[in-house]
Amino acid sequence: MKSRWVPYATTPGRLLWQLLSDVVVIIWTTIWVLVGMAVHSAVSIIADFGYQLESGANGVAGNLDSAGNSADDIPLIGDSLARPLTAAGDAAREIAGAGQNLGVTAGWLAWLLALAVAAPPILALMMPWLFLRVRFFRRKWTAVTLASTAAGEQLLALRALANRPLAKLAAVSADPVGAWREQDPIAIRGLAALELRASGIRAAGLKHQ
């Protein structure tokens, strides 16, 4: 993972933490997606009931209409018999319309509730994770780009003098500031390596352009 395009560290410790964070994010996201799907399935039962009610009521309305048409053909009393059957068919169609409205409303509600349940916890973890990963990628890109030139390596060494612990600086050179001022290539490379490691990058394999 030496490429500057890869958003992962090349130092073992930092890389391990990044991989573990990826696993945690994947597991966390999977759990809440499953919870959202369960909520959607539970509410969708209401939508299914609404559509079943619509289908059944339409069937009843069709049967009542057929019966009314048949009754209307009966001499003398046909109209009297057909009128209540037709009214009952109209009532059944109203019930079918209510069932359809219930199904549509419950269907939308199922998706909204699923998103409302799953999205907040997913975003609560995903957004900090993404922010840290993007920040690391930008830092890695800058550090690798600087390390590819002699002038950039000197700048990294200067940052190490300003930011790294004194014990680590002393391990590179007895007089790290003096070595940097004298442009000692070994000391500068060692100081730059300190700054690179702090950014999660191993200096090995990086070459000047």
> What is the amino acid identity at position 113?
L
SS (H, E, C) 161-209: HHHCCHHHHHHHCCCHHHHHHCCCHHHHHHHHHHHHHHCCCCCCCCCCC
Q: Is residue 2 part of a domain?
A: no
- Is 25 in the same domain as 104? yes
- Is 54 in the same domain as 129? yes
Spell out, as residue ranges, where the chain has pLDDT lower than 50.
Answer: 1, 209
> What is the amino acid identity at position 12?
P
Name the pTM for this structure.
Answer: 0.71
What are the pLDDT digits (tens) for 61-73? Answer: 677 667 666 655 5
> What is the amino acid identity at position 149?
T
What are the pLDDT digits (tens) for 53-106? Answer: 878 877 776 776 676 666 555 665 656 666 676 676 777 778 878 888 888 888
pLDDT of residue 182: 85
Host domain of residue 201: 148-208
pLDDT of residue 77: 62
- Is 70 in the same domain as 120? yes
Element (H, E) at 129: helix 78-147
